[in-house]
Structure 1
Amino acid sequence: MNKNIQSFIELCNGEFGRKVAYTYVDEITRENVLSVLQKAISVLNCNRPVIRYLHRYYRGDQPILYRQKTVRPEINNKTVENHALEIVRFKTSQTYGEPIQYVSRKPDQATNDAVDRLNDYMRDAHKQARDIELGTWQSSVGTAYKAVLKSKGNCPVPFRLNVLSPMNTIMVYSGHDGRDMLSIQQLKDEWDQQYSQCFSDTEYFIIKNGRVTDSGLNGFGGIPIAEYPNNPDRLSDVEIVITMLDQINKMQSDRMNGIEQFVQAFMLFKNCEINKDQFIEMCQLGAIQVKDSGQGVQSDVKIMSEELNQEQTQVAKDDVYRQVLVVEGMPDRQQNTGGDTGQAVYLRNGWDFAEQRAKLDEPFTIEAEKKHVFIVLNIIKQTTKDIDLSVRDFDVKITRNSTDNMLVKAQSLDYLLKNKIHPLIALTTCGLFGDPEKVWTMSKPYIDTIMKTQEQLDAEAERERALELLEVQTNSTIKTGGAE
């Protein structure tokens, strides 16, 4: 059931990327929520089979496994080279391999301490594990959803994080200004009856059997579900190269077929008659005896085989795989031929290109993360009240390879500091630290001992001039007194 038998192109009919639900009402109310829900569910129903296909494809359920072969059907190798898994894992690790950090935008100690407590809360809520799960959905199907809910019982963290399936979740946006209007989840109750749970900015709605069965004030202070699109078009990292991935599977399977057909080649008996028993006996003996039938007609027995050119096939397969890497913006795993520096390999193999491609999609994740943290802060303010922050007090920092080329980065930091660049700018530019603001705050007492601001230099110069003037006056007084 729901196996990926057909190709993705046959399923999506050329419609790539996930569809987005819009509404043109100014406010979601109990009176209009049913009409908004109905239109959004139609969009979700359109996206669901595509999302299911892509997620199963990433997990290894690919069309080559169901290929039918009419010629010599007994030789039908079905090999999956799951590069879709490789792509999704790489893309997820780029964004979520290191924990997403919140860094203070203000230099005061109170804000830094509050941001540190927020990061501690997120660690205790196992945020990175949820983010990796989120990134897997985001990369494999083009979008993902994360919900924040209030904890129950004696939980040390007042909130809990949950990653929702995009097959049952959708966000409705305003057709006028693009703001979040309504989140929709399709759920089942304890009697296995389906219902929809919806959140607007101010209210919640429970809808079952085409009517609103429950509604009330939304206690989260906003929509508790945030959508994390993979890119503006919500394109999956798999679907943009899925035809090439199918070709790689086909090439590898056909290569295996070619090897097996060469080993199990047909035998041609020319101008000689042989029955089944004689053939079996000859196979067991490993020898064949034939004689000419006379009148100039020659008899012959030979293997009908034509071996597949494996070298040319490998060249074609490698070319397709390289094009997959180019389209995905992933680094190539070329071997070092010698004489290259680390930075040269970084540029030649495409790691710098991969970094630039990741930066293109990063702002969409940061935007969604800000919406998510807004609800988290609301819950904390309602319960523990030990964090007094707004989303304007901190930035979302996505860290990638902070220790990569560490010596070069350290040399860059040293060069910037020696040339009188502000230490905070130098710490941010060099790329060594995930939270340069915190590093600057903690290091300031030590930096002040080796670096001085212009005001400090002017004050020291003024003191030196005052001391020189005092020394001159003292010397003058001594000389005058000696003359008397």
Structure 2
Amino acid sequence: MGRNKSNFVDLCQGDFGRKTAYTGVAQITTENVVQVLSDTIGTHNRNRMMINYLYRYYKGDQPILYREKLVRPEVNNRVVENHALEVVKFKAGQIYGEPIQYVCKKKKADKKINEQVDLLNDYLDEANADARNIQLGIYQSAVGTAYKAILREDDWTKDRDLPPFRIFIPYPGDVYIVYSRNTGKAMLSVQILKDEENQQYYLCYSSNQYFKIKNGQVTVSGINGFGGIPIIEYPNNHDRLSDVEIAITAFDAINKYQSDRLNGVEQFVQAFMKFKNCEVDENEFLKMVKLGAISVKDAGNGVQSDVDLMTAELNQSESQVAKDDIYNNMLIVEAMPNRQSNTGGDTGNAVYLRNGWDFAERDAKLVEAFTKEAEKASVRIILNIIRKTSNDVKISTRDFDVKITRNPTDNMLVKAQALDYLFKNKIHPLIALITCGLFSDPQKVYEMSLPYLGTVYPELANPDAEMKKAQELIKDFSQKSIQNQSATISSTGEE
């Protein structure tokens, strides 16, 4: 890999985002897989250049480090304020900072399904899914897309704690997915690997087969037993734009401002000495510098001699204002909250809105939709592996929902007060638990709390009958909420 000596705009020529590889074939077979690979590898190679650049940029390899200075080249500070790292860590934390959970969504209460969903969550915990997801989130934010590979665990046995599957996050520059041009369906995954002799080959998976391609030929092929393509793409957004590249020119400008400010200070301290109407040889000058004093004589004939420092100090306060303006605009583009302090008198919600946390939340919801879609595709492969090994999780993705939790303790006191108010006004407990926003899985909280709620609400003494009633209530509540939102949008559009 090279160094990021040039800027990103020159590299991508203004064509931002990662390109998607498409094919027009209806089915991938042994006869056409090499041609499909040949037709799409060019798209990936272009993406790979951008991915390498952006990932190195996120880690701190930025163009300012290679800047050359023509005037006084010895005063050339190169400072990286790695705000790209700040952005990527914030964005990854928004989605993957809290563990992704699977929660039951069945209309009818089913204790067995809840137990099965809990068992699936336990499997993922043993597979260190949280750590792998954080790694995936960093790739996703830094380069615009990421991939999750679900593999079989070769060391799995029924008597060991290891799950029968393993989660692997490959480097995005070594993987890509080929999609159908007509339907948008994932047709083929391609991994660029090296064998024991350091020879490159391609490992490809379609929904039914796998292929090992080397030197333009299929050397190995067989049936894909995963029940689908075991490598799933997690795009950062529809255009696969990186959170780094959308503000990369601002990052470069901040680096330049900070480096030039240090240059200004250093040039002021190491200012040139000007001798007017007098001659001093090098040895004499060094002696005077060592003594810390300089003595000169007038040249005569009314010509005055003088020694002075050539200084021009940079206005640091004005530079700071310009730098802060760039930084604040970068935060707006990235939908990140600022660091403004509370001046007093603000409520928690006022600070939440003023400092940009509301915009950050809305932006995270846009990424969340793509993450949920990819996460369900990953779980389908995991469930298929479990069925063929331990066979103790017998549910499908229709039985549960993907729950991404963010900041559950924000305004916790306000939420708790709202819950108490709803309880006192005889709102059904399940509706109250969902509305207050305190819990990532309000249904499970409701089920676990039924014995205690029954002491407050005698009508909850029969949990089974009450759970059926609660499920019907929550279904109606969700439908009415959607209808109200649709009505609001329609009325706003008419206005």
Corresponding residue number in structure 2 for 1:234 = 240
From 141, 144, 147, the counterpart of 1:145: 147
Q: One-letter code of the match for 1:77? A: N
From 115, 118, 132, the counterpart of 2:117: 115
Question: Residue 15 of structure 1: SS of its match in structure 2?
Answer: coil
- Aligned: 1:72 with 2:72: yes
Question: Residue 228 of structure 1: SS of its match in structure 2?
Answer: strand
Corresponding residue number in structure 2 for 1:130 = 132
Corresponding residue number in structure 2 for 1:48 = 48
Corresponding residue number in structure 1 for 2:195 = 189
- Aligned: 1:358 with 2:364: yes
Report the Cα offset of residue 453 of structure 1.
Answer: 6.6
Corresponding residue number in structure 2 for 1:39 = 39
User: Compared with structure 1, are the counterparts of its residues 259 and 395 closer, same or farther at alpha carbon in structure 2 (3 Å cutoff)?
Assistant: same
Report the Cα offset of residue 418 of structure 1.
Answer: 3.5
Corresponding residue number in structure 1 for 2:263 = 257
Report the Cα offset of residue 296 of structure 1.
Answer: 2.2
Q: One-letter code of the match for 2:330? A: V
Question: Residue 220 of structure 1: SS of its match in structure 2?
Answer: coil
Distance between the aligned counterparts of 2:387 and 2:416, measured in 1?
A: 40
In the TM superposition, structure 1's runs of 4+ consecutive aligned residues that sit over 6 Å from their partners are: 452-456
Question: Which TM-score applies when normalising by structure 1?
Answer: 0.92
Corresponding residue number in structure 1 for 2:477 = none
Report the Cα offset of residue 455 of structure 1.
Answer: 13
Once the two structures are superposed, what CA deviation does each residue of 1:335-387 show, in whole Å capped at 9, x if it has no partner? 12122222222221111211111111110000000000000000011111111
Question: Residue 157 of structure 1: SS of its match in structure 2?
Answer: coil
Within-5 A mapping of 1:360-375 = 360-375=366-381
Question: Residue 235 of structure 2: SS of its match in structure 1?
Answer: coil
Once the two structures are superposed, what CA deviation does each residue of 1:309-347 show, in whole Å capped at 9, x if it has no partner? 011001111111101111101110111212222222222
Once the two structures are superposed, what CA deviation does each residue of 1:401-452 show, in whole Å capped at 9, x if it has no partner? 1111111111222233334444333222322111122112222333344347
Count of aligned residue pairs for this structure pair? 457
Contact 1:170 1:185 in 2 (8 A): yes
Q: One-letter code of the match for 1:134? A: L
Moved more, 1-10 or 259-268: 1-10
Moved more, 172-181 or 291-300: 291-300
Corresponding residue number in structure 1 for 2:254 = 248
Once the two structures are superposed, what CA deviation does each residue of 1:88-135 show, in whole Å capped at 9, x if it has no partner? 111111111110000000231111100000000000000001001000
Distance between the aligned counterparts of 2:217 and 2:409, measured in 1?
A: 56
From 133, 147, 159, the counterpart of 2:165: 159
Corresponding residue number in structure 2 for 1:462 = none
Distance between the aligned counterparts of 1:449 and 1:231, measured in 2?
A: 48
Structure 2 unaligned blocks of 5 or more: 466-495
Q: One-letter code of the match for 1:409? A: K
Report the Cα offset of residue 238 of structure 1.
Answer: 0.4
Once the two structures are superposed, what CA deviation does each residue of 1:57-96 show, in whole Å capped at 9, x if it has no partner? 0000000000000100001000000111111111111111
Within-5 A mapping of 1:16-31 = 16-31=16-31
Distance between the aligned counterparts of 1:174 and 1:407, measured in 2?
A: 50
Q: One-letter code of the match for 2:272? A: F
Q: One-letter code of the match for 2:178? A: V
Contact 1:265 1:305 in 2 (8 A): yes
Distance between the aligned counterparts of 2:201 and 2:428, measured in 1?
A: 57
Distance between the aligned counterparts of 2:460 and 2:417, measured in 1?
A: 24
Distance between the aligned counterparts of 1:420 and 1:26, measured in 2?
A: 57
Q: One-letter code of the match for 1:81? A: E
Structure 1 unaligned blocks of 5 or more: 460-484
Q: One-letter code of the match for 1:376? A: I
- Aligned: 1:332 with 2:341: no
Distance between the aligned counterparts of 2:345 and 2:150, measured in 1?
A: 52
Contact 2:453 2:460 in 1 (8 A): no
Distance between the aligned counterparts of 1:5 and 1:413, measured in 2?
A: 56
What is the root-mean-square deviation of aligned Cα atoms in Å? 1.6
Contact 1:40 1:170 in 2 (8 A): no
- Aligned: 1:404 with 2:410: yes
Distance between the aligned counterparts of 2:460 and 2:74, measured in 1?
A: 83
Moved more, 221-230 or 426-435: 426-435
- Aligned: 1:81 with 2:89: no
Question: Residue 169 of structure 2: SS of its match in structure 1?
Answer: strand
Question: Residue 206 of structure 1: SS of its match in structure 2?
Answer: strand
Contact 2:144 2:241 in 1 (8 A): yes
Corresponding residue number in structure 2 for 1:301 = 307
Q: One-letter code of the match for 2:150? A: V
Q: One-letter code of the match for 2:48? A: R
Distance between the aligned counterparts of 1:342 and 1:214, measured in 2?
A: 61
Corresponding residue number in structure 1 for 2:489 = none
Q: One-letter code of the match for 2:47? A: N
Corresponding residue number in structure 2 for 1:466 = none
Question: Residue 144 of structure 1: SS of its match in structure 2?
Answer: strand
Distance between the aligned counterparts of 2:235 and 2:458, measured in 1?
A: 45
Question: Residue 390 of structure 2: SS of its match in structure 1?
Answer: coil
